[in-house]
């Protein structure tokens, strides 16, 4: 188990269990294994691993997942590359260079 997290409690991540069909797309696109299937539905297994990149929400065919992309470590990494600076999301976990 990891000893760090991207954002405290993955603040913006939510799943509408009523819309989820358990297709597993979120499991396939999530770079950090945030989701698992349980009872035929996607559930958050490790909220602290969510870097709020938005891949799950953008790829969910039924729109069952909502996440505010452009925050946290993913944004820090992208903005750092664009600006030519070291990424720093302020999480203190060393996950993105901050």
Predicted pLDDT of residue 48: 81
Alpha helices by DSSP H, listed for 20-96, are: 25-29, 55-59, 72-83
Predicted pLDDT of residue 54: 85
Distance (Å, whole) CA 98 – CA 12: 21
Of 31, 7, 23, the C-alpha closest to 89 is 7
Predicted pLDDT of residue 3: 44
CATH tag, 8-83: 3.30.70.20
Predicted pLDDT of residue 89: 62
Report the chain (98 residues): mean pLDDT per 10 consecutive residues. Answer: 50 91 96 93 90 88 87 68 74 54
As a whole number of Å, the end-to-end CA separation of the chain is 21
Question: Domain-by-domain residue ranges, the chain?
Answer: 8-83
pTM to 2 decimal places: 0.67
Predicted pLDDT of residue 14: 92
């Amino acid at each position: 188990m990891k000893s760090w997290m991207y954002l405290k409690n993955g603040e913006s991540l939510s799943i509408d269990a009523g819309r989820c069909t358990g297709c597993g797309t979120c499991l396939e696109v999530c770079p950090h294994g945030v989701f698992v299937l349980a009872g035929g539905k996607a559930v958050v297994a490790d909220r602290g691993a969510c870097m709020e990149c938005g891949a799950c929400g953008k790829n969910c065919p039924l729109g069952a997942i909502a996440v505010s992309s452009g925050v946290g470590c993913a944004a820090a990494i992208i903005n750092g590359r664009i600006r030519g600076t070291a990424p720093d999301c302020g999480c203190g976990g060393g996950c993105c260079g901050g």
